[in-house]
Every structure is written in structure tokens, then in C-alpha cells.
Amino acid sequence: MRVLIVEDEMRLAEDLRRTLTAQNYVVTHAKDGEDAWFRGDTEDFDLVILDLGLPRMDGFSVLKRWREAGRGMPVLILTARDSWRDKVDGIDSGADDYLTKPFRMEELNARVRALLRRAVGQSSPILSNGAVEIDTRLRTVTCEGVPVQVTPLEYRLLTFLLHHPGRVFSPAEISAHIYEEDIDRDSNAVEVVIARLRRKLSVPVIENRRGQGYFIRARGEA
């Protein structure tokens, strides 16, 4: 899952990047409002953590422009402004949640997990499809009740597909959500990761549609 951090305080931005990377998210950082707006308007993110007090364009303006352009990714506002009016303005501008500085990283992680779930209609922290389950709190994978050891890359790919059951993603789309931007990779890298996952899982979960890409069936889908 791909997260955009928009924060001009570099120490906090690095703390957020380190924390979210440890949770197996792919993290991109923008340090001013114009860069954030451009990235959010031209790239696909599963979630944005957005500060309000930004140089070049404030967070409220960035968020309003995204929503006016039809960009619907979940946005968690992160700010030192703690008045009720600022919170109302943030929610009315299109934010999905609001977290006031200072905060605990554990709370931020919980809010991120909840926003990602709600964005795709999931209510439980357990993602499942038949015999395969992922506990997003513990970052563990089981198949038919048996723990499966997966790499961080395999975890990101499986989690991404389970967050979007029934949707077919091309290898390029999957790659954009599971790899860091500066990582060099072969053109068939996604296929290699999927092949490894299929060998580790004792049931056929990840399917492919010829010429289109890969998907995990939605529950009840034939």
C-alpha cells in the first residue's frame, strides 16, 4: 500500500517515513504544498498524511484542489492546529480523519489501518479470502490456519490485492503500489513475486486474467 507524507518538518517526516516503512507501506514524501498537489494529482496513492502549515500552498488548498479534481484517496490531516474550527474546516475540505500534534505513532498506525480499511469497505483488521488471512495489526499471514512466512514485498502485494477483491490490476499498477520509487526492477518483477507467493500458499488465491493482470476474487464471486 502506497502512502504520501506531506510534511515540511524534516525530522517528523523522517520519523513518519521510518514508522510507516516498518509497517510495510511504500512511502513517498513531499515537503511543500505544490509538490504534494502535483503528486497527488498525477500519481496513485492509497492514503495521504497531510500537514496544514505548508510552504508554497497550504494543506487546506491542496486538499480542496484534489477533491475538486475528483481525487478520492483517504486523507489524514496531521497538524498542530487544535481548535474545533480548524477540525471542522479540515473535514469540510474533504479530509477523512484529523490527528493533532503531538501524537503517538501507535495511534497514527491505527488510524492509517482504519482509513485504508474503510476506503475499500473493510470493517475488520483481518483481511481474508477463503483460507488466506492477513492480520494487519500484527502483519502476519496464515493459510488454512497455518502461519506462512512471507517477505515484506510479498506481504505488500498480497495485502494490496486483498484490499481490492475482484479488481484486476496490471503488473505496472501493482508495481507502483509495492515498490519504492528509487528501486530498480526487472519488467517481470511482479510476476516473480506472485510466483513465489503461489508456491508458499497451499490454495490458489491469486489469479490472472490474460492480457489484463492479476486479482483475488471477491467473496461469492464465481
pLDDT tens, 87-145?
777 778 889 999 988 999 999 999 999 999 998 888 888 998 888 999 999 999 999 99
Q: Which residues pair with 51 in a beta bridge?
A: 78
pLDDT digits (tens, 9 = 90+) for 71-87: 999 999 988 877 767 77
The rounded distance, in Å, linking the Cα atoms of 77 and 63 is 10
Phi, psi of 221 (to 5 degrees): -85, 130
> Edge-to-edge, what's the strand order for the sheet holding 132-135?
126-129, 132-135, 140-143, 146-148
- pLDDT above 70 covers a percentage of the chain that reads 94
| Residue (of 157, 161, 163, 148) closest to 175 by Cα position | 157
CATH topology assigned to domain 126-216:
Arc Repressor Mutant, subunit A (1.10.10)
Q: What is the pLDDT of residues 188-201, one digit of tens each?
A: 889 999 999 999 99
Identify which of 42, 11, 13, 8 has the alpha carbon closest to the alpha carbon of residue 27. Answer: 13
Side chain identity at 158, as an amino acid letter?
A: L
Tell which wins on pLDDT, 218 or 177: 177
Q: Classify residue 64 by burial, with Cβ atoms within 10 Å: 0-12, 13-18, 19+.
A: middle
Q: In what order do the strands lie in the sheet with 47-51?
A: 26-30, 2-6, 47-51, 75-79, 97-100
Model pLDDT for residues 23-57, shown as the tens digit of each residue: 999 999 999 999 999 999 999 999 999 999 899 99
| Residue 170: DSSP 8-state | -
Same topology between domain 2-119 and domain 126-216: no
SS (H, E, C) 31-97: CCHHHHHHHHHHCCCCEEEEECCCCCCCHHHHHHHHHHCCCCCCEEEEECCCCHHHHHHHHHCCCCE
Q: Give CA–CA dist 41/119, Å, rounded.
A: 18
pLDDT of 222 strictly over 60: no
Q: What is the pLDDT of residue 185?
A: 64
**Whole-model pTM?**
0.87
Q: Where are the domains of the chain?
A: 2-119, 126-216
Q: What is the pLDDT of residue 121?
A: 83
Residues 6 or more apart whose CB falls under 8 angstroms from that of 217 comprise: 129, 165, 166, 207
Q: Which pLDDT value is given to residue 221?
A: 60
Q: What is the pLDDT of residue 89?
A: 78
pLDDT band at 155 (very low <50, low <70, confident <90, very high): very high
Q: Give the model's pLDDT for residue 50.
A: 96
pLDDT value at position 47?
A: 97
Superfamily of domain 2-119: Response regulator (3.40.50.2300)
CA nearest to 120, candidates 158, 157, 176, 163: 163
Band of residue 18 on the pLDDT scale cut at 50, 70, 90:
very high
What is the spatial distance between Cα 66 and Cα 38, in angstroms, rounded to a whole number?
Answer: 9
